[in-house]
Amino acid sequence: MKHVFDIILPAPKELTEKPNMTQKIFPWYALFIFFVITVSYFELIYRIFIFRTVDGDYIFSVLFALSAAAIFFLASVFASRIKNGIITTLITLALTVLYSAQFVYFFIFKTPFSLYSLIGVKDATQFWDVAVSAILNNGLVIALFFIPIVFLFLFRKKFFLPQRPKLFWLQIVTIALIGIISYEVSIFGMRATSGKDFSQYTVYYNIASPELSMKKIGVLTTMRLDLQRALFSFEENSNQKIVETPTPPPPVAQKKSFLEENNVMKIDFAELFKNEQNRTLLDMHAYFASNIPTKKNSRTGMFKGKNLIVMLAESFSPYAISPELTPTLYKMSTEGFVFNNFYNPIGNNFRRNLGQFSF
C-alpha cells in the first residue's frame, strides 16, 4: 500500500520505477516530515519537563509546527545538495539551541526567556556558574534536545536528492499550501476559543504572557510573537470581556468544612466577578480563586491578635548573625521560623525589588 503522501503527491517516474531501500525510507518529502517531527518533538519535551503535562493545548503546537516546517523546508531545497544540507543543519541547530536555552532559562528564573529579558543579561552573566550548574543538573533533558540534529547528521546523505525531480515545482507549491492551510487551521482553532478567558485566542491577540502563551500555543510561536511585537509594537487589550462564569460557591455545610480544614479567607469571588469591570482586577480574582489553599496545622492561628513587625535588611548576610554580636537576631533565627527554601530570581534588580515583597 502506498503512503498517503505518495498518493496525494506522486514522485516522478524515474524515482518510482525501481525504488531502492533508501528511496522507500527517505522519499522526496522526508525533509519536510523531519522538520515537522523535530518541532513537535521539541514542543513535547519542553511541555513534559516544564509544565509536567501533555493536554489538548499540545495540538496547537503541532498545527503551528506544520506551517513552521513548511517554511524551513522551502528554505532548504533551492540550492545545491551540499548547500541545502548546510542550511538544514543550521536551522536544526538553531532550533536545538533555542529550545534548550529556553528550558535552562526557565529552570533558573522560573519564567520564559523573552527579548525583554535581554535588559538583564549583564547582571545575569555574573552568575554564569548557576547556569552551568543548571545545565549539569539537567544534562539528560538537554541531551534529548540534540537527538534530531544527531539523526540529521547520521542520515545527512539520505535527505537530499542528487538532482531535482521533474515535478519539483509542483511539490514545492504543495508543501507551501500545506503550510498555509495548517496556519489557517491554527488561526481558526484559536478563534474558536475566543469565548474563554486565558485561552489560545487571548494569548495570541490580547495579552503578553510568555509562560501562558508557551503552554497554550507552543514555544516557537511564542518566540515568534515576542519578536513580532518587539518590532511592530503591541498593546494589550485590557477590555476583553469575561465570558466564563466562575464556579458557584459550595453549599453552606460543605463551605464550612472547607474553611475549617484549609487556610481560606471568606471572600465571595463569584460576587467580585459579577461586579468588577477592570480587566486587571478580574485577572487577579481569577488567579486567587483558582489557587489551591494550604492545610491548617498545629501552628495555625498561634499569632492571632499579635502585631506583625517587618524588618527588611538590604544586602544582609546570615554571616552577620552571631550569639555575641547580634544576640537578638541570633535568637530569632534559632528559636523562630526559618524559611530556608526561599527562592529569589537571579539579578541585582530582581533580588532587591522582589525581596521586599517576599516578606
Residue 23: the pLDDT is 46
- Tell me, what's the pLDDT at 162? 61
Q: Looking at beta carbons, which pairs linking 144-149 to residues 24 or more positions away fall under 8 Å?
A: 144/45, 145/42, 145/45, 145/96, 145/99, 145/100, 145/103, 146/96, 146/100, 147/41, 148/34, 148/37, 148/38, 148/41, 148/42, 148/92, 148/95, 148/96, 149/89, 149/92, 149/93, 149/96
Q: How many domains does the chain have?
A: 3
Q: What is the b/e burial string over 116-125, where b = at least 16 CB atoms within 10 angstroms of the residue's CB?
A: ebeebeeebe
C-beta of residue 262 within 8 angstroms of C-beta of residue 295? yes
Residue that has been written with the C-alpha cell 554564569 in this structure: 128
Quick one: 282 and 160 in the same domain? no
- What DSSP designation does 117 have? G
- List, in order, residues 6 or more apart from 167 with CB less than 8 Å away: 10, 11, 12
The per-residue pLDDT for 297 is 84
Q: Which domain holds residue 339?
A: 318-358
Ordered mean pLDDT values, 10 residues apiece, the chain (359 residues): 45 44 57 94 95 92 95 89 89 96 86 74 66 86 95 82 68 92 94 84 86 92 91 68 45 48 81 81 81 82 84 67 84 79 53 49
pTM of the predicted model as reported, rounded to 2 decimal places: 0.61
**Do residues 352 and 323 both lie within one domain?**
yes
Q: What is the pLDDT of residue 39?
A: 97
Residue at 112 is within a domain: yes
Does 279 lie in the same domain as 149? no
**Cβ 189 vs Cβ 27: under 8 Å:** no
The pLDDT assigned to 219 comes to: 95
106 and 38 assigned to the same domain:
yes
Same domain, 161 and 271: no
pLDDT of residue 88: 92
Distance CA 66, CA 214 (A): 17
pLDDT recorded at residue 255? 46
Provide the CB-side half-sphere exposure for 225 (13 A, CA): 26
The x, y and z cell numbers of residue 317, run together, are: 548576610
